[in-house]
Amino acid sequence: MPLYEYHCDSCGAAFDARVEDADLDRPVECPLCHSLETQQDISLFSVYGYGESQESSCSNEESGFR
């Protein structure tokens, strides 16, 4: 079950909640004030791998486009 980040509009708390994909449209209860006025936050993620490290960026300095 995926873990999502939420914030409560009523008390301002930030919290994580495990929510199944089928329940993403349902409101999530705040664990502090029990309000259903919560919003899902945009979560950051990272990827771990093995092998050689490779750097990449969005810019292409060789193209001359700026």
Q: Which two tokens stand for residue 37?
A: 């006025």
More confident residue, 62 or 25: 25
Q: Which two tokens stand for residue 41?
A: 């936050």
Domain assignments of the chain as residue spans, ordered by start = 1-45
pTM over 0.85: no
In whole angstroms, give the CA distance from residue 10 to residue 16: 16
In whole angstroms, give the CA distance from residue 1 to residue 61: 41
- Determine if residue 34 is left, alpha or beta; phi over 0 gives left, psi from -120 to 50 gives alpha, anything else beta: left
| CATH tag for 1-45 (out of 2.20.25, 1.20.1050, 1.10.3470, 2.20.28) | 2.20.28
Kindly report, residue by residue over 3-53, the tens digit of the pLDDT: 899 999 999 999 999 999 889 899 999 999 999 999 999 877 767 777 666
